[in-house]
Chain A
Amino acid sequence: MPLLELRGVEARYGPVRALDGVSLAVDEGQIVAVLGANGAGKTTTLRAVSGTVRRGGEIRFDGRPLGRRGPEAMARLGVAHVPEGRGTFGELTVEENLRLGAYTRRGKLDGDIERVSGWFPWIGERLDQPAGTLSGGEQQMLALARALMSRPKLLLLDEPSLGLAPLVTREIFRIVAELNEKEGLTVLVVEQNAAIALEVAAYAYVLEVGKVAVSGTSEELARDESVRKSYLGY
């Protein structure tokens, strides 16, 4: 049974239909990528899962139908959503951002802060710095670290490469792949940069105007020239 399963999911913003029956599945311990052009419904797919947009159709997480759960409830179920634009709190310090990431958990967090500092060593040295003074890449890493603080069952990652230099993007995807490998982290990642996403993902879905146009293992999609040309643009 997959950890996350979407069946015929629909979502709209007012009169605009953003998702028109999306079905996909993410197995535990897997990295799955959602690819596609601007406006294809990638971000909305993540928002439907985390409950930040009203959704129709069926979503099951951990065997349970989600119903109308909002983002607060989804966070409690173990879904960590790193949204577009990262959603870090610029006026708060790095440490406060991390503590907020563990908001749904009880008990001491010092061990967890140490654990995520292991993945991002600079974090441990800059806990008192306001997050707003970090560079774009550091903020993306902080958003990722904050999500890890909640010990998520599922990480939703929205366009981690947005606005970042290629080298920084590569570093972030390397860390995500390593987290998946070493800690068994399950990830559903949305990305415009199809090439880099296919490198780390096991499976990928290509969206087109709110529907899944093609799907397959990353190797299949990367190998298929017509798919690459018509959907992935490289």
Chain B
Amino acid sequence: MANFVQQVVAGLGSGAIYAALALALVLIHRATGVINFAQGEMAMFTTYICWTLITNHGWRYWPAFVATLAFAFLLGIGIQRVVIHPVANASLLTIVIMTIGLVLIFNGLAALIWSAEIRAFPSPFPNETWQIGTVSISQQDVGTFAVVLVLVLGLWAFFQFTKIGLALRASALNPEASRLVGVRVGWMLAIGWGLAAVLGAVAGMLAAPTLFLDPNMMQATLIYAFAAAVLGGIDSPFGAVAGGILLGVGLNLLGSYVDVVGADLRLPVALLIILVVLLVRPEGLFGKPVQRRV
């Protein structure tokens, strides 16, 4: 039992990271119908920015963390304006290919600037455990979970209670009608990309202490995030978060109780989840059934 609780808590840590990245994917998919394949590489790139601030410029962790979020927000807006907006009226395939191009650009750029060497990344949380009876709980996992929780609640409040949040939701639901009431839908999409990049940056910075920093560090995490988003429902923000947590905890339990799965088979399990959900219940656990408008 002690081991079970321990594994669940450990799963919450990685699950929170999947949840943050999955939520980023869902934000953009809801607004534009596109999966941003570059979400993971953007997260990796912004994590390098944080690393540079800390290692090369001597910043403390939390100021560097916040500055990186600001950078990520502007990066997301910039990419939408410069790369995605010009092809906004093109076919979905064109936009998807643009995002795949961004994957290559960010990956190459990171290797060029910071080299492909694997680097250690600091964690803001002590590498210690709390002992509750026979259960030892990693402070890293709890801290990671807490940061994502605060972020998700903050975003929810922003969408629910602010004027821009309302305009963002309206733009995703009905861009034509939003324009008629004066919402600048193009800019709302850019803000959506900015927020998604912020979520990605948080996922990257929280994942880097365990995954270590290198230009390919987010690739597996992006697959897990896909699986989480598909599991929860690709258009459901709540589903993305729930899917991420479920996936993190589930994979961790599988890894510790089913010998066959181990660490090597985690990724195939995630892909299997994507496949099964798309076949059996394409709208995911928390999404609405897909309706085609004629």
On A, residues with C-beta under 8 Å from B are: 50, 52, 70-72, 75-76, 80-81, 83, 87-92, 96, 99-101, 103-104, 146, 150
Question: Please, which residue of chain A has its CB at the minimum distance from the CB of B178?
Answer: A100
User: Can you list 12 A-B contacts (CB < 8 A)?
Assistant: A52-B179, A71-B182, A75-B181, A75-B182, A80-B180, A87-B177, A89-B177, A92-B166, A96-B166, A100-B166, A101-B181, A104-B181
In the complex, which residues of chain A have a beta carbon less than 8 angstroms from the beta carbon of B183?
A: 72, 100, 103
Q: Is the CB of B179 within 8 A of A89?
A: no
On B, residues with C-beta under 8 Å from A are: 163, 166-167, 169-170, 173-174, 176-185
Q: Is the CB of B180 within 8 A of A71?
A: yes
Question: Please, which residue of chain A has its CB at the minimum distance from the CB of B186?
Answer: A72
A150 and B176 in contact, given A89-B170, A92-B169, A100-B170 (Cβ under 8 angstroms): no
In the complex, which residues of chain B have a beta carbon less than 8 angstroms from the beta carbon of A101?
A: 181
Q: Is the CB of A99 within 8 A of B166?
A: yes
In the complex, which residues of chain A have a beta carbon less than 8 angstroms from the beta carbon of B179?
A: 52, 70-72, 75
A100 to B185, CA, bound (A): 13
In the complex, which residues of chain B have a beta carbon less than 8 angstroms from the beta carbon of A71?
A: 179-180, 182
In the complex, which residues of chain B have a beta carbon less than 8 angstroms from the beta carbon of A50?
A: 180
Question: Please, which residue of chain A has its CB at the minimum distance from the CB of B160?
Answer: A96
Q: Is the CB of B173 within 8 A of A76?
A: no
In the complex, which residues of chain A have a beta carbon less than 8 angstroms from the beta carbon of B176?
A: 52, 83, 87
* Least CB distance, A106 to chain B, in whole angstroms: 10
* B180 partner, pick from A52, A91, A92, A96, beta carbons under 8 A: A52
In the complex, which residues of chain A have a beta carbon less than 8 angstroms from the beta carbon of B182?
A: 71-72, 75-76, 103-104, 150
* Least CB distance, B57 to chain A, in whole angstroms: 40
Q: Which of B166, B174, B181, B184 has the most CB of A within 10 A?
A: B181
* Least CB distance, A88 to chain B, in whole angstroms: 7
Question: Please, which residue of chain B has its CB at the minimum distance from the CB of A90?
Answer: B173
Additional pairs, 6, CB under 8 Å, beyond known A52-B180, A71-B180: A80-B181, A81-B180, A83-B180, A87-B176, A90-B173, A100-B166
Q: Is the CB of A92 within 8 A of B167?
A: no
Q: Is the CB of A83 within 8 A of B181?
A: no
Q: Is the CB of B184 within 8 A of A89?
A: no
In the complex, which residues of chain B have a beta carbon less than 8 angstroms from the beta carbon of A72?
A: 179, 182-185
